Structure 1
Amino acid sequence: MSTTRKKLDVHQEVTDRIVAAIETAGPYEMPWLKSRSGSFARPVNIASGNAYNGINILSLWIAAQSSDYASPVWGTYRQWQQRGAQVRKGEKASLVVFYKSIEKDEADTAEGDDNEISRQRLIARASHVFNAAQVEGFTPPTEASLLEAPVFDPIERAEAFAKATGAVITEAGDEACYVPSSDMIRMPERRRFMGTATTSPAEAFYSTLCHELVHWAGAKHRLDRDLSTRFGSEAYAMEELIAELGAAFLCADLSITPEPRMDHASYIASWLKVLKDDKRAIFTAAAKASQAANWLQREAG
């Protein structure tokens, strides 16, 4: 009898977890925004002090939300041991993904191709991490010190960030949108934004603006984000998912609680269809969202 263990399909495993979380989150809220009991800062690695990127932000947010982890700090079993902490017995690890570059087989390399890059292939590998809430012997520093972020009033910081990106933003009309033909963002007047039980009117305004800034960043003369070849008729819905994720990443960095968007309901079915049909789609969406959020942060200086 063969004892060979079935190899973990990293892309499928992460996609399945995110699909399940979206399907149970409700018609308007995304699972990474559903609860304020977990930490909404970007997840940070205990060993390097660096924030996670791409799909790992999303995966760890969902893990934190489902278990009510208040800390954004994560690490492998060994990394916690190196910090003098111990993962409690019976604690369940959360999945993160990293990519390892390997040499292609000669048969995989085009004849006569001496390009070093073409000889490399990226392979997804799984790693398992534990939250600070799952260990003993560790006192977490504040989120601000982890992210090395200056202490500002969150709304003032959001206003300064939006201005520093250089985007042309007008406040008029009833719709929030990015207009490619004029390369500008239109927002309803900020006074028209209403708060919710968990979101202030100002947070609602800035979280919506962050969504549109991610669209703006994807323009051809900026990040040139074109999804039509990869996703065909679903490209528009995927662009909205990227903007949704990018806005969530930015709001985390700006200490803003995002507002649940009513228009999510019209996109969720399309998002789920693409995610179920293509196990790498959520990886692409999260990577593009992370790219846009990081680019906007650099532009804002």
Structure 2
Amino acid sequence: MSFDIYQHVTQTIVDAIEANPAEMQMPWHRFGGQLPENAVSGKQYQGVNILSLWCVAQLRGFDEAQWGTYKQWKEAGCQVRKGEKSSLIVFYKAVRYEDDQGEEQTRHVIKWSAVFNACQVDGYEAPTRPEMSPLERLEAVDAFVQSTGATIKEGGGRACYVPSLDEIHMPDGDRFFDTETRSRTEAFYGVLSHELTHWTGAPHRLARDLTGRFGSDRYAMEELVAELGAAFLCAKLSITPEVRDDHASYLANWLDVLKRDKKAIFTAAARAQDAVEYLSPS
């Protein structure tokens, strides 16, 4: 039987979600939001690799965001400890072939590579990272949000994206409160990031269409895209995302979709990555 990378990654994520059902939290809420990055190049992983490595970190108690192959760690002067188990990342490789008419075509084939976390190696020194002090409003983040061009109206008690008006509605800032794990600022910007991701899916932007393949699950899929987009965006902006009050009901829907379609999380993560790139063009 051939190795099924789609099934492997999806099962890793499902296992992480189900590992502590009493708390009903997604891995990125527990891990703190820092994007996983390659230990040698410093480049951040993207799409489903972010989610997969976050899940592995939660399941195995890793508290570092740096990952690398055995060879990369060796090149960095570190040694993977004997007996350590690797984790998988995926990437797509372009393959050229001739079609039935003899014309050259290109298709992308999924490949995988084994990586190890910094917690699994000897000789690694974690970089010193400045801690972000909680603020009422974050000037840099507000500037980023303004640069997206989204119309955002604050007031009332509900956060939502209204397609008919092409507006994001956010509750007043004083409706967000500190908790044991989140500041009021983190809660506010986490919810705003979720709604910004929804905003990118409008027909005249990314035209995100999850009908067809996902059928009646498209609502759960769009919410998963928004949740992943918020997690990715908050990590990019150094904000820890807030856990939704209605998280349990969404979680049940997501697990159902993931278990029935092993490629669903790949689709959701790719759409979320597209949304973040749309919001923050280079």
Judge same fold: TM > 0.5, yes or no.
Answer: yes
1:32 aligned to 2:15? no
Match of 2:101 among 106, 112, 120: 112
Rounded Cα–Cα distance in structure 1 between residues aligned with 2:93 and 2:166: 38
- Out of 162, 165, 175, the position equivalent to 1:182 is 165
| Match of residue 156, structure 2, among 173, 177, 180 | 173
Paired residue for 2:235?
252
Distance 2:209 2:31 in 1: 32
3-state SS of the aligned residue for 2:165? coil
The structural deviation recorded for 1:226 is: 0.7
Q: Which runs of 5+ in 2 are unaligned?
A: none
> Secondary structure at 2:59's aligned position in 1?
helix
Equivalent position amino acid for 2:87 in 1:
S
Q: Does 1:130 align with 2:116?
A: yes
Where do residues 80-229 of structure 1 align in structure 2 (5 Å cutoff)? 80-104=73-97, 109=99, 111-112=100-101, 114=103, 116=104, 119-142=105-128, 155-229=138-212
Select which of 16, 20, 24 maps to 1:21: 16
Deviation at 1:256, TM superposition (A): 1.2
- Alpha-carbon distance change, 169 to 25 in structure 1, aligned in 2, over 3 angstroms: farther
User: Is the contact made by 2:224 and 2:254 (CA closer than 8 Å) also made in structure 1?
Assistant: yes
Percent of counterpart pairs with the same letter? 54
Shift of 1:84: 1.2
Cα distance, 1:223–1:83 mapped onto 2, change above 3 Å = same
Question: CA separation in 1, counterparts of 2:174 and 2:91?
Answer: 43
Q: Name the structure 1 match of 2:276.
A: 293
Are 1:25 and 1:31, in contact at CA under 8 Å, matched by a contact in 2?
A: no
Determine helix, strand or coil for the equivalent of 1:259. Answer: coil
Q: Post-superposition shift, 1:19?
A: 1.2
Alpha-carbon shift at residue 132 of structure 1 (Å): 1.2
Match of 1:71, SS state, is coil
Per-residue deviation, residues 76-121 of structure 1 (Å, max 9, x unmatched): 00001111111111111111111122234x5xx3x4373x4xx222
SS of the aligned residue for 1:123 comes to strand
Listed one character per residue, the Cα deviations across residues 239-295 of structure 1 (whole Å, up to 9, x for unaligned) are 000000010011111111111102222222221121111111100101111111122
Question: Structure 2-normalised TM-score?
Answer: 0.92
Q: Distance in 1 between matches of 2:128 and 2:52?
A: 22
Q: Secondary structure at the match of 2:212?
A: helix
Report the residue type matching 1:98 in the other structure: F
Corresponding residue pairs, total: 279
Q: 2:2 aligns with which of 4, 7, 11?
A: 7
Out of 20-29 and 236-245, give the one that drifted further: 20-29
SS of residue matched to 2:139:
helix
RMSD: 2.2
Query: Is 1:242–1:286's contact at 8 Å kept on the other side of the alignment?
Result: yes
Give me the whole-angstrom Cα distance separating, in 2, the residues matched to 1:70 and 1:294. Answer: 26
Cα displacement (A) at 1:152: 11
* TM, length-normalised to structure 1: 0.86
CA–CA distance in structure 2, aligned partners of residues 168 and 233 of structure 1? 29
**How far 1:185 sits from its partner (Å)?**
0.1
Once residues 129 and 226 of structure 2 are traced to their aligned partners in structure 1, the CA distance between those partners, rounded to angstroms, is 24
1:148 aligns with: none
Q: Residue 198 and residue 152 in structure 1: after superposition, are their counterparts in 2 closer, same or farther (change >3 A)?
A: closer
Structure 2 residue identity aligned to 1:245 = L
- 2:2 and 2:178 mapped to 1: Cα distance? 47
Are the structure 2 counterparts of residues 28 and 190 from structure 1 closer, same or farther at C-alpha, using a change threshold of 3 Å? farther
Task: Quote the residue 1:61 is aligned against.
Answer: 54
- Equivalent residue letter for 2:60: S
- Take 1:10 and 1:273, find their aligned partners in 2: how far apart are those partners? 19
Cα pair distance change 1:287/1:133, threshold 3 Å: same
What SS does the aligned partner of 2:138 have? helix
The 4+ residue runs of structure 1 with deviation greater than 4 A are: 151-154
Query: How far did residue 28 of structure 1 move?
Result: 4.1
Q: Which runs of 5+ in 1 are unaligned?
A: 1-5, 145-150
